[in-house]
Structure 1
Amino acid sequence: MRDYDANTAAYLADRTAAHIHILYWFKAKNRTTGAVETLGLWTGDDHQDFTIGGDVRTYYGAGTVAGTETLTYETGLSVRTHRIPFKGLKPEIEQLLKGYDPRLAPVEMHRVFYDPDTAQQIAPPTRIFTGSIDAAPVTVPAKGGTVKVEVAVVGAARSLTIPLSLKKSDEVQKLRGGDRFRRYIDVSGQTDVWWGETRASTSPPPAPVTTVPER
């Protein structure tokens, strides 16, 4: 069961109309500079600053986020995918998908409650999800249609599905910025190695020779 602060608990116990917004915080690498940058989006109508963890974050709205799915919480190692639909390819979305490298970029989701009568924030945003981007397909419609963008994010359980390093080849590693750590993996364990004056060899030692004296 989730714990709420006193203001939020009283607000939910009142059973009045709930006014809720979802905040999305992305952290991705800039394709041009290589620096890690952040981008905030939310379901609100305009840009707004929120204080989260002592830091002030700017979240862009203006109808960018089309909606949000209901999060499902469960114990276990199941990898659930949560989809975030966006309204067209707006500048903020274009920056996330084209200006940044969204592959496996960390994602945080927060929920914030508002008083429906005063439109005032009830309490600081509460984190409800931590994960990473799994896919970000862009569907280009026929002439006159609207571009469809949907970012799929997965939870931390996804990290448990990463294959063992034993299955990574040199060709795959070279795609990671020219990493040549596995350059000699094909001959590993088959090459004699010299350590100081002692020669280490993977080949088996010669069989002992037994000499039989002549009579």
Structure 2
Amino acid sequence: MPRNISAANQAALEARVLVARDFLWIVARNRSTGAPVPDGMWSDVGNVSASVIDPDTGATVTRNWFGAGTLVAIDDIPLVSNLSAQTVNIRLSQIHDHVQQLVREYDCRQARVEIYRGLFNPDTRKMVAPAECRFVGFVDKIDIRTPSENEDGAVTMTCASHTQEMFRANTETRSHETQILRATNDNFYRDAATTTSWKIFWGSKQGSVPTQKKRKKFLGIF
């Protein structure tokens, strides 16, 4: 699938004068208050302030990014033209205090993840244009491996793309309590919790009310 890039980035690519750097933006949560805790890291040394293209609004925003070896590696991000959910592994430094604070002090489960790619001019050491977003998703799993002596440790985040939200089932659509939140007089699911135990008599047969298999939902609404 083709990718749209800015004219400045296109010119730098054609001139073969650029250095690529990755930017990782994670919005974790405070374990006590639940408040969002945004954090930015990039694949170079030193702390920088760099501009990126917001994937939600398309506007240019400037954020602070922490360096010094925190972001070790990011898997290749597949480009697909379908609705399948993609996964990307992100490897962070296990011994860095900044990473330790992020994954242990804050809650990163289902944290929003944004990955950007910035192209730098090696002569000016500046980005030729705001970094483009390459991936938006959520942290699906975190593996914190504490090494033994002479072994390597790492913090690996497995992230799933935001496409997975299209296939998330809504478990509340079949409850009476949820139904009356939409309309107070809607009693369609009033007896949904007890119908499985009802006894019926039809001729010589008796027993519980048979139930149909739950149909697979699309977008969690059918």
* Structure 2 unaligned residues grouped into runs of 5+: 53-58, 176-188, 201-222
Distance 2:174 2:143 in 1: 26
Alignment partner, residue 38 of structure 2? 38
Contact 2:24–2:40, Cα closer than 8 Å, also in 1: yes
Distance 1:100 1:167, change over 3 A: farther
Alignment partner, residue 28 of structure 2? 28
Distance 2:28 2:6 in 1: 31
Q: 1:126 aligns with which of 109, 128, 132?
A: 132
Alignment partner, residue 7 of structure 1? 8
Query: Which amino acid letter does the alignment assign opposite residue 20 of structure 1?
Result: A
Q: 2:153 aligns with which of 147, 151, 156?
A: 147
Distance 1:187 1:14, change over 3 A: same
Distance 2:72 2:104 in 1: 20
Q: 2:108 aligns with which of 102, 113, 134?
A: 102
Distance 1:115 1:54, change over 3 A: closer
Give the deviation of 1:80 after TM superposition.
1.8
Contact 1:47–1:60, Cα closer than 8 Å, also in 2: yes
Q: 1:63 aligns with which of 64, 69, 72?
A: 69
Q: Deviations over 1:37-79 (max 9, x none)?
A: 1000110111111233444311101011112222111022322
Kindly report the root-mean-square deviation, in angstroms, between the aligned alpha carbons of the 2 structures. Answer: 2.9
Q: Deviations over 1:136-155 (max 9, x none)?
A: 11112213434211111111
The higher radius of gyration belongs to 1
Q: Normalising to structure 2: TM-score of the pair?
A: 0.70
* Structure with greater strand percent: 2
Q: Percent identity?
A: 25
Alignment partner, residue 84 of structure 1? 90
Q: Normalising to structure 1: TM-score of the pair?
A: 0.73
Contact 1:82–1:154, Cα closer than 8 Å, also in 2: yes
- 1:182-197 equivalent positions in 2, closer than 5 A: 188=192, 190=194
* Structure 1 unaligned residues grouped into runs of 5+: 170-184, 192-201, 205-215
Give the number of equivalent residue pairs: 178
**Secondary structure at 1:2's aligned position in 2?**
coil
Distance 2:79 2:50 in 1: 25
- 1:153-168 equivalent positions in 2, closer than 5 A: 153-165=159-171
